[in-house]
Structure 1
Amino acid sequence: MKKYQLGEFEEIVLLTVGVLYNEAYGVAIKHEIENRLNRKVSVGALQSALRRMEKKGYLDSRQGDSSEKRGGKPKRFFTITAYGKEALKYSKDVRSQLWDAIPEVALDLKVV
């Protein structure tokens, strides 16, 4: 079912939008990913992923109120769509099936 395939970063961004729920805007998403995954995220890569997933129908966005703190520029808030939820479910199911298919002996390794 290729229509739901997500790249790793797209999956992380979608999950993070879900974690942040009504507070999912660019800077908050970036900080949440960096804090939870101890991974640097470039603003450009994040914005590209958000726009790409919005175009694919995985995300919706709405413009927030403008503020003086942001020089009058409003925040853009993101939410997961029903299609985005299906993409995440598909991704989770595929990963679970693969984990379940690994023979126990294959993971019976000792750290050296």
Structure 2
Amino acid sequence: MKKTKLGEFEELVLLTVASLQEEAYGVEIKRELESRLNERLSVGSIQSALKRMEEKGFLTSEFGEATQKRGGKRKRIYAATPYAHRVLRELKDVRAGLWETIPHLAHDLKSA
């Protein structure tokens, strides 16, 4: 596997962006991650991860339409690139392969 330089938190943010698709903007990404992780996250930590991943080529972003609900401000909507999808598949395969090498845990996970 090619070295991806993708940290654990970045991977979670990237998976969330890929999952949310057209709804992948800061507040919604934060809400989804907090719900799944059952912990509070700072907007800054998410914004930093999004910026880093955009610089690394994992994400693209564009502004959505301004809405009255947001006081005329536009959302920055993120999308995972084809490169990001490839890296996520590689990471999933590596993890699945490692889980399968743990006899007791692999068996427990299959029967769960």
Residue 74 of structure 1 deviates from its aligned partner by: 0.8
- Percentage identity across aligned positions? 57
* Contact 1:6 1:91 survives alignment (8 Å): no
Task: State the SS of the aligned residue for 1:62.
Answer: strand
The RMSD of aligned alpha carbons is 2.0
Q: 1:87 and 1:6 mapped to 2: Cα distance?
A: 9
Find the counterpart in structure 2 of residue 65 from structure 1.
65
Task: State the SS of the aligned residue for 2:66.
Answer: coil
Unaligned runs of 5+ in 1: none
Higher relative contact order (CA 8 A, sep 6+): 1
- Structure 1 segments, 4+ long, off by >4 Å, are 105-108
Asked if 1:16 corresponds to 2:22, the answer is no
* Contact 1:5 1:87 survives alignment (8 Å): no
The within-5 A match list for 1:32-43 is: 32-43=32-43
Find the counterpart in structure 2 of residue 94 from structure 1.
94
Residue 33 of structure 1 deviates from its aligned partner by: 0.7
**Which letter does structure 1 place at the counterpart of 2:74?**
P
Task: State the SS of the aligned residue for 2:100.
Answer: helix
* Contact 1:4 1:86 survives alignment (8 Å): no
Give TM-score, length-normalised by structure 1.
Answer: 0.86
Q: 1:16 and 1:106 mapped to 2: Cα distance?
A: 25
Q: 1:43-84 CA distances to partner (integer Å, 9 max, x unpaired)?
A: 000000001001111111111111233232210001110000
Residue 29 of structure 1 deviates from its aligned partner by: 0.4
Q: Which moved more, 1:76-85 or 1:36-45?
A: 36-45
Q: 1:69 and 1:105 mapped to 2: Cα distance?
A: 48
**Structure showing the higher strand proportion among its residues:** 2
Unaligned runs of 5+ in 2: none
Give TM-score, length-normalised by structure 2.
Answer: 0.86
Q: 1:95 to 1:73 in 2, by over 3 A?
A: same
